[in-house]
Amino acid sequence: MTGTLLKIDGLTKAYPGVVANDAVSFEIKQGEVHALLGENGAGKSTLVKMIYGLVKPDSGTMEMRGAPFAPPEPRSARAAGVAMVFQHFSLFDALDVAENIALGMENPPPRRDLAARIRETSEAYGLPLDPYRTVGDLSAGERQRVEIIRCLLQDPRLLIMDEPTSVLTPQEVEILFETLRKLTAEGVAILYISHKLEEIAALCDAATILRLGKNVGTCVPSETSAREMAELMVGTELQTPKSAGGEMGEVVLDVSGLSMSSPSAFGTPLRNIHLRLRAGEVLGIGGVAGNGQDELLLALSGEALTEADAIKLKGQPVGRLSPNARRALGLLAAPEERLGHAAAPNMSLTENALLTGAVRKNLENHGFLNWTRTRSFAEEIIERFDVRTPGPENAARSLSGGNLQKFVIGREVLQAPEVLVVNQPTWGVDASAAAAIRQALLDLAAGGAAVIVVSQDLDEIMEVADNFAALNEGRLTETRPTRGLTIEQIGLMMGGAHGMEVAHV
C-alpha cells in the first residue's frame, strides 16, 4: 500500500504576533512513519492540532484519501480515522483505564465489552493493560499505553504521536517501536514528532522539517545524518559544544557515606553514596529514571537535609544547611522539573530570577527587594542565554520548554557557582538550545567551577562529562573517566551488580 493518505496543501495559521504555520504542504503515505521535525516553537504542535481538528487553519486545504478534509472538531477528525497521542498526557488520573479509553471513543461499547476489547487489543500489540486500574497509579510508560490503546480501538488510519518517547525508558521505547512497526505493517500511517534524531533515523520512512512555521525541506531519515537534519531544523551550522580542557583543581565537593530515605512515597532511597568533585571537573551521572536521581539532587541542593558530614563543600560540612545557606557558599542546583520546581509557573521571569538569585546577586537588603537590580539580572539571563521572550515581565508559564530551560540554567550559571548540580538539563529541549546549554556548562567548568550533570541521555553525558558514574537503586558506582568508556561498560555500570535487567512488560 503506497497510496497517499493525507495531503496537506498550503496550511496557514497565524496567532496575534506570530505566524505559527506559513503555507505548509506535505503528504503522508499509507503505512509510512512520517517524522515532523523542528525546534521548539517551529509550529509542529499547531500543525497537528489542525489535522486533529482542535485548531482551524486560516487558509489552505487538506485531503484525506482524495476527499476534502476539514475537521471542525476532534470528533470529526476521529471519525475520519485520525487518532492522536498527546505530548502531555490527556488522561484523567481519578478515572480508571476503561473510563479513560471510553472518553476518547465516539461510541464506546458497554463497559464489560470494552474491558474485554482493551485486554485483547493491548495483548495483541504487546502492551498489556488492566482496564480496571486507576490511571493515577500507573507509571509513565503504562499511561502512554492507555493513550495508544485508546487510539488503536478506533481503527485509526493516521496516528499522530507528539514526542512519545520523552518519558520512556530505553526498553519501553523498544516496545513502543515494535508496536508502531506492527501498525505500519497493517497500513496505518504514523505522523511522528520527536526531538530525538537517532530515533527518527531508526523508525521513520520520511521526514518533513519545519522552521519558524515554514516547511524547509523533506528528507529520508535513514539516508540523512542526524547532524544534517539538525542543521536543517536550526537553519545554521550546529555548534558542537567544546570543552576548553581546563586543569582540574582541588576537591571542592566531597560526598561520603550519604544515605537518605526518599521524601516521596514512590521514591528511591539513597544508599551510601561517595563522590569527590574537583574544581573544573564535569561529572556525568547516568542511570535509568527513578534510581535516585531526584533524591540526589534534593540532598545536594539542600531541599532534603542529611547528616552534616555527609556533604562537605571545600571541607565545610553542609549537610544540615538550607538551600539558601548552600547558595551563599556557592553550591547551586537546577532541578529537572521546570514548571513548579525550578520555576514558579505564574510568576514573572524577574520574580523567578529573584527566587534563587537573591543571595548571591545581592538582590535583597534587610528583607526589602531591589527590583531594579533583579530586573537587570533577569535581562542579563535572557540576553546571555538567548531566551526567546518579549521581556522579563512575562510569566514563566508562557515560555516554551526549551526557552524556560535556558532561563533556569542561565539563572544558576550567571550566579558564578563553585559547584553546580543540574538534573536533565536538556530534557525536551531542541538541538540548538541543548547545544547552547551544554556549552554554557562546559564554559562554567573551564572557568574553574565544578559541575554535576545528572542525565538519562548518555550522548549528552559523553559530550560534556570528564568523568562518569551511574546511579542504580540509590547506589552510585565508582567514578570513571568518560574517555575510553564503551557503551557496554556504561550499560554494566547502569545495571549494577544485577546485570542487565529486562524491563517489566
Partner 1 sequence: MDFSAINPALLLASLLVAATPILIAGIGELVVERAGVLNLGVEGMMITGAVTGFIVTIETGSPFLGFLAACAGGAALSFLFAVLTQLALANQVASGLALTLFGLGLSSLMGQGYVGLKPPASPKLDLPLISDIPFFGTVLFSHDAVVYFGFALVACVWATLKFTRVGLVLRAVGENHDAAHALGYKVVRMRILAILFGGACAGLGGAYISLIRVPQWTEGMTAGAGWIALALVVFASWKPWRVLLGAWLFGGVTVLQLNLQAAGFAIPVEYLSMSPYIITIVVLVIMSADKSRAPASLGRPFHASS
Options 38, 41, 57, 104; binder of partner 1; rule CB under 8 A: 104
| 53 sits near partner 1 (criterion: CB under 8 A) | yes
Which set of grid coordinates corresponds to residue 59? Answer: 487558509
How far is 152 from 125, CA to CA, in rounded Å?
10
Tell me whether residue 9 or residue 73 sits nearer to partner 1 (CB atom). 73
Residues 203-232 that bind partner 1 (CB under 8 A): none
**Shortest gap between Cβ of 88 and partner 1 (angstroms)?**
8
Residue 412, CB-side half-sphere exposure with 13 Å CA sphere: 33
Options 22, 99, 379, 457; binder of partner 1; rule CB under 8 A: 99
x-marked contacts with partner 1 along 79-98 as a string, rule CB under 8 A: -------x--xxxxxxx---
Options 10, 74, 241, 290; binder of partner 1; rule CB under 8 A: 74
Centroid of chain to Cα 400: 12
**Shortest gap between Cβ of 57 and partner 1 (angstroms)?**
13
CB atoms inside a 10 Å sphere around CB 168: 18
Binding part of the chain for partner 1, among 53-61, 246-254, 297-305, 341-349 by CB under 8 A, reads: 53-61
**Shortest gap between Cβ of 215 and partner 1 (angstroms)?**
21
How far is 78 from 45, CA to CA, in rounded Å?
17
Could you tell me which of 192, 199, 227, 229 has the C-alpha nearest to residue 211?
Answer: 229
x-marked contacts with partner 1 along 107-146 as a string, rule CB under 8 A: -x--------------------------------------
**Shortest gap between Cβ of 472 and partner 1 (angstroms)?**
32
Options 44, 49, 327, 375; binder of partner 1; rule CB under 8 A: 49
**How far is residue 233 from each of residues 40, 227, 287, 442, measured CA to CA in Å?**
10, 10, 29, 24
Number of residues that bind partner 1 (CB under 8 A): 21
| 160 sits near partner 1 (criterion: CB under 8 A) | no
Options 35, 102, 168, 363; binder of partner 1; rule CB under 8 A: 102
Binding part of the chain for partner 1, among 70-78, 443-451, 467-475, 484-492 by CB under 8 A, reads: 70-78
Residues 304-343 that bind partner 1 (CB under 8 A): none
DSSP 23-38: EEEEEEETT-EEEEE-
Centroid of chain to Cα 164: 10
**Shortest gap between Cβ of 271 and partner 1 (angstroms)?**
29
Options 75, 182, 227, 242; binder of partner 1; rule CB under 8 A: 75
Could you tell me which of 377, 432, 372, 445 has the C-alpha nearest to residue 407?
Answer: 377
Which set of grid coordinates corresponds to residue 485? Answer: 568508556
**Shortest gap between Cβ of 80 and partner 1 (angstroms)?**
13
Gyration radius (Cα) of the chain, Å: 24
Cell 495531503 identifies what position?
Answer: 7
In what helix (H) or strand (E) does residue 383 lie, and over which residues does it extend? helix 371-384
**Shortest gap between Cβ of 42 and partner 1 (angstroms)?**
16
How far is 283 from 280, CA to CA, in rounded Å?
10
| 38 sits near partner 1 (criterion: CB under 8 A) | no
**Shortest gap between Cβ of 73 and partner 1 (angstroms)?**
5
User: Which long-range CB contacts under 8 A does 375-378 form with residues at least 24 apart?
Assistant: 375/350, 377/353, 377/414, 378/349, 378/350, 378/352, 378/353
Give residues in contact with partner 1 (CB under 8 A).
Answer: 49, 53-55, 73-75, 78, 86, 89-95, 99, 102-104, 108
